[in-house]
Amino acid sequence: MAADSKAPPSTQTLGRRAKLVVSLIVVTLFAIAVIIVLPNLPWSTSGEIHVPVRIFVFDATRRLPIAAAKVAVFRSPPVLGPNSLAADDRDYRPNPAAPIADTVRSTTGADGMAVIEFDFKTSANNRRPQAQAHTRWVWLEIYAEGYGTVVIPVRHDSTPIAELRKQGELLVPVGLVAAN
């Protein structure tokens, strides 16, 4: 009886195995052809990253920190040229009477520094797969008595999330010139 269990597989079993192998090869070749022939499918993802923004306000002429400067961080679209300002309703100066959503305020210390915790929008897509924080969509308003007000973007381009995590914070130095 033990000899019967070691009998060679029947021709029918070998035929089924061959059909299965051929079917798997055909499916694999079809999948490879679809991947090669079809263009990259569009995809995107989004989220937020929490990053401290360290603003260093200094007197650009005397190279000294400015204490008690008022600092605000707010979201607004980037300026891509003179026509983009007229393109839609944009406010690049937080108005205390009608504050912009997501505006966060602080005041610099004796060292000219203010740190504001901020959530930056993030995204990645099939054209730019490395995740980016939209730092150019976030602006600073800085005002110091005797200097006036300046409004600038945190960055002029988006910043890779990996770079932000490595740095641990965004440093934004802002030099002001005394108003005389």
Q: 76 and 14 in one domain?
A: no
Q: 86 and 60 in one domain?
A: yes
Q: Which tens digit of pLDDT belongs to each residue from 37-49?
A: 666 667 678 889 9
Q: What's the full length of the chain, in residues?
A: 180
**What amino acid occupies position 105?**
R
Which is nearest to 141 in space by CA: 82, 101, 177, 95? 95
Quote the CA–CA distance of 57 and 113 in Å, as a whole number: 6
User: Quick one: pLDDT band at residue 75, thresholds 50, 70, 90?
Assistant: confident
Q: 111 and 25 in one domain?
A: no
How many helices and strands (H and E) does the chain possess?
Answer: 4, 10
Q: 57 and 28 in one domain?
A: no
Q: 51 and 16 in one domain?
A: no
Q: 81 and 8 in one domain?
A: no
Q: 109 and 20 in one domain?
A: no
Q: In which domain, by residue range, is 22 found?
A: 2-37
The pLDDT mean for the chain works out to 82
- Determine phi and psi for 123, rounding to 5 degrees: -165, 165
Residue of higher predicted confidence among 17 and 14: 17
Quote the CA–CA distance of 152 and 118 in Å, as a whole number: 16
What's the structural domain count of the chain?
2
Quote the CA–CA distance of 61 and 132 in Å, as a whole number: 35
Q: 18 and 49 in one domain?
A: no
Q: Which tens digit of pLDDT belongs to each residue from 119-141?
A: 888 988 877 788 899 898 888 99
E strand or H helix at 5: helix 2-5
Quote the CA–CA distance of 137 and 49 in Å, as a whole number: 14
Which pLDDT does position 97 carry in this prediction?
42
Examine the pLDDT at 95 and tell me if it is beyond 70. no
Q: 83 and 115 in one domain?
A: yes
CATH of the domain at 132: 2.60.40.1120
Q: 98 and 11 in one domain?
A: no
Q: 77 and 16 in one domain?
A: no
Quote the CA–CA distance of 74 and 93 in Å, as a whole number: 9
Q: 119 and 56 in one domain?
A: yes
